[in-house]
Amino acid sequence: MDLKAQNISKRFYRKAGESNYFYAVRETDLELPSGALSVLMGRSGSGKTTLLSMLSGLLSPDTGTVTADGRDLYSMDDRKLSAFRAARISVMPQGRAVLDTLSAWENVFLNARIAGVRDESLVPRALELMERFGIPDLKEALPKELSGGELRRVMLCRSLLLSPEVLMCDEPTGDLDDQNTALVLDSLRDYAHQGHTVLLVTHEADAVSYADRLLQMDAGRISTPDPV
Amino acid sequence: MRDLVFRNLRGRPGKTGALVLLVTFLSLTLCGGGLVLSSLRAGLNSLENRLGADVIVMPSKAALKTDLDTLFLQGTIGPYYMNMSTVNKIGRTEGIGRMTTQVFLSSMRASCCSIPIQVIGFDPETDFTVQSWLAQSRQGTLKDGELLVGTKVNVNVGESIKLYNVSCPVAGRLAPTGTGLDTAVYCNLNTIRSLMAAAGALGGYSYINGDPAETISAVYIKAADGVNVDDIVNSINIHVRKVQAVRTRSMVTGVADSLGGVSRTVTVLMVVIWLLIWVILLVAFALLAGERKREFAALRVCGMSRARLSGLVFAEAFCVSAAGAVLGILLSLVLVRSFSSLIEGALGLPFLLPSSGTVAALATVSMLVCLLAGPIASAVSARKLSRVDTGLILREG
Ligand SMILES: Nc1ncnc2c1ncn2[C@@H]1O[C@H](COP(=O)(O)OP(=O)(O)O)[C@@H](O)[C@H]1O
Ligand SMILES: [Mg+2]
């Protein structure tokens, strides 16, 4: 599924109610093709997360449209958009997005639970994912018992469990060691090459070598330098 | 989704417990207050029925010494008696429909009596105030020497009570009235006269001089249809000496008046406390919502719609409310039941647990109100949480 953004922008006010605003993302056209790993890089505060939020249907842009599979995301009502996101667009946020009352295993199934998918085949897939990312022993662990890196891999397993057509990861390798970073980047590229649309937001320099498409963000503006 | 609700609730036992406790108080205020109010009303009704009579005539001395309004809360009017010729004079008053006599005697705190208790002798032939309360008894009429006991007397039917060295078998039990009459025992006139004779022989009642058969404590009168009760009262008070006739309704009205006052106070108190707790509940939900923003942002990022997020909050509030409501109802039943005599004493009003139908209705209303009030109190937080800014977890590093 291709994801297409036309002329999207987002501005924020410095202080609520004041006319003094700035653009987190300036008017941008962008296309994320399926089957390719798009890597979005840029300094902190350059607007990467804001862009990812708009592309994934979580933040309504001030101007422009985002279309997925030919459907304008922000013209859908909340119920439709949520259902669409749950089924087809997976987001792995930069922050800690787990339920503390659920075990790691249950957190891996959170998307499936919300999307209402009760497929027996998800169990071996979840096991395989946790195995692949080196956290098979943490099934019963509670989030508060996990390290940042472990938690991030739980979230990654969750994002991949339903094999979403679109996957967006914000700094997924933030607190991972080199070996695990390579593992994650490798998996994301593989996943993209299976025909999925993958957007990776990172400031990890290594990611450049995995990118099929490199996007550079600077003060809300996107440029597309040639892949190195 | 449903298991998510339970997981959330079980996952933070302290906070869930605190919320349940708040709703328990809501339900306790409502159901407990309602029980107290309807118990007072039931007590009053029972008192009215129990009196059965329109007029009570007693010796003037007794009338002087007894606070009429509390007469029936305490049981009897003390050791003051009138003789049969007086009773006959009363009986000649015009307009009397039914008339019956009673004799009061207290047992003593001494070895001759197994318990200190009020004994009320009534005339089974003419009685219209006691026997209608018979709850559980052997077949047949009350024989000489047998007793009926009030509901609070701790002696079983079939057992005996020793009064002035006379052993009296208990033949039946009266239904609860919520008044002092519940702690008395009842017998026929023959029995009470032989008990008085026995008491006189023991020297316990030196003031009983003369024939026990000539000794009457009170006369109960029911006016004939269409007769003005006040005429009877006035006629007796004018024509019969040394007795005082009182309209029973004025006694009940006294009770009813103070009942009205107490009811208003209890109701106002109930409403104020209830609202206070509800506001606390609302604040508690709102505070918890603040703590749970990230959790709901996570659910949102994972594809949950706003409607379902609010649904989750409401479902949790609903479960909490259901648990609290049930606890509060049970607690109020236990409390009101175990403290009923304390409440009765403190308020100085007849107190009688209402029928199980009324209790069920009260419980149902409390349940429904709590099931509404809880989720409504969570509406603010439901709104807050369903509109949670996902940037919270999207942006954080
Ligand atoms: N909700 C918001 N309100 C105000 N400013 C915001 C908001 N979200 C993001 N910003 C600002 O927009 C800019 C871009 O943020 P972000 O997209 O998170 O950058 P990045 O992910 O590249 O670090 C930052 O200066 C940030 O402070
Ligand atoms: Mg960011």
Query: Are the beta carbons of A40 and A52 closer than 8 angstroms?
Result: yes
How many angstroms separate the CA atoms of B72 and B63, rounded?
13
| 3-state secondary structure at position A190 | helix
How many angstroms separate the CA atoms of A44 and A218, rounded?
9
Any idea what the Cα angle at residue B169 is, between residues B166 and B171, rounded to 5°?
Answer: 145
Residue A55 in any domain: the answer is yes
Residue A20 in any domain: the answer is yes
To the nearest 10°, the Cα dihedral for B25, B30, B36, B41?
180
Question: What is the reported pLDDT for B154?
Answer: 87
Measured in angstroms, how far is the CA atom of residue B136 from the centroid of ligand 2?
Answer: 81
Measure CB to CB from residue A79 to each of B294, B305, B397 and give the nearest one.
Answer: B305
Q: Is A48 in the pocket of ligand 1 (CB under 6 A)?
A: yes
B293 at the A interface (CB within 8 A)?
no
For chain A, the farthest-separated pair of C-alpha atoms sits apart, in whole angstroms, at 54
Residue A144 in any domain: the answer is no
Which of B182, B154, B152, B155 minimizes the C-alpha distance to B170? B155
Question: What is the reported pLDDT for A228?
Answer: 47
Domain carrying residue A216:
3-96+164-227
CATH at A178:
3.40.50.300
Residue A159 in any domain: the answer is no
Cβ under 8 Å to B: A residues 116-175: 158, 170-171, 174
Query: Are the beta carbons of A139 and A103 closer than 8 angstroms?
Result: yes
B316-325: per-residue pLDDT in tens? 999 999 999 9
A73 at the B interface (CB within 8 A)?
no
Phi and psi at residue B91, to the nearest 5°: -65, -20
CB A171 to CB B397 under 8 A? Answer: yes
pTM (2 d.p.): 0.77
Question: What residues of chain A lie within 8 A of the CB of B304, using their CB?
Answer: 82, 86, 114
| 3-state secondary structure at position B138 | coil
Q: What is the ipTM of this complex?
A: 0.93
CA nearest to A142 within chain B: B11
What would the two tokens of residue A136 be? 């098979």
Question: What residues of chain B lie within 8 A of the CB of A174, using their CB?
Answer: 397
Give me the residues paired with residue A35 across strands. Answer: none
What would the two tokens of residue B72 be? 């029936």
Q: Is A44 in the pocket of ligand 1 (CB under 6 A)?
A: yes
How many angstroms separate the CA atoms of B90 and B193, rounded?
21
Which of B103, B64, B69, B99 minimizes the C-alpha distance to B83? B103
A98-138: per-residue pLDDT in tens? 999 999 999 999 999 999 998 899 999 999 999 999 999 99
pLDDT band at A168; cut points 50, 70, 90 = very high
Rounded to an integer, the average pLDDT of A182-193 is 95
Q: Is A42 in the pocket of ligand 1 (CB under 6 A)?
A: yes
- Decide the pairing of beta strands A197-201 and A166-170: parallel
How many angstroms separate the CA atoms of B355 and B260, rounded?
20
The residue behind tokens 């941008």 is: A28
B18-76: per-residue pLDDT in tens? 999 999 999 999 999 999 888 888 887 777 766 678 888 888 877 666 555 555 555 55
Looking at the 3D structure of chain A, how many domains does it have? 1
Residue A84 in any domain: the answer is yes
B80-86 long-range Cβ contacts below 8 angstroms, 24+ apart: B80/B217, B81/B208, B81/B215, B81/B216, B81/B217, B82/B58, B82/B216, B82/B217, B82/B219, B82/B242, B82/B243, B83/B210, B83/B214, B83/B215, B83/B216, B84/B213, B84/B214, B84/B216, B86/B216, B86/B240, B86/B241, B86/B242, B86/B243
Question: What is the reported pLDDT for B175?
Answer: 82
> A48 CA to chain B: closest CA distance, Å?
9
Domains of chain B, residue spans: 2-46+255-396, 50-248
Residue A142 in any domain: the answer is no
Question: What is the reported pLDDT for B394?
Answer: 85
- Tell the residue nearest (CA) to atom 20 of ligand 1: A45
Question: What residues of chain A lie within 8 A of the CB of B306, using their CB?
Answer: 78, 82
Whole-number Cα distances in Å, B392 to B226, B250, B288, B381, B395: 82, 71, 17, 17, 6
CB B294 to CB A87 under 8 A? Answer: no
B94 at the A interface (CB within 8 A)?
no
Ligand lying closest to the C-alpha of residue A59: 1
How many angstroms separate the CA atoms of B218 and B215, rounded?
10
Residue A177 in any domain: the answer is yes
A29-48: per-residue pLDDT in tens? 999 999 999 999 998 889 99
A39-98: per-residue pLDDT in tens? 999 988 899 999 999 999 999 999 999 999 889 999 999 999 999 999 899 999 999 999
Measured in angstroms, how far is the CA atom of residue A228 from the centroid of ligand 2?
Answer: 23
Average per-residue pLDDT in chain A?
Answer: 92
Other C-beta atoms closer than 10 Å to the C-beta of B335 total: 16
- Name residues of chain B where pLDDT drops below 50: none
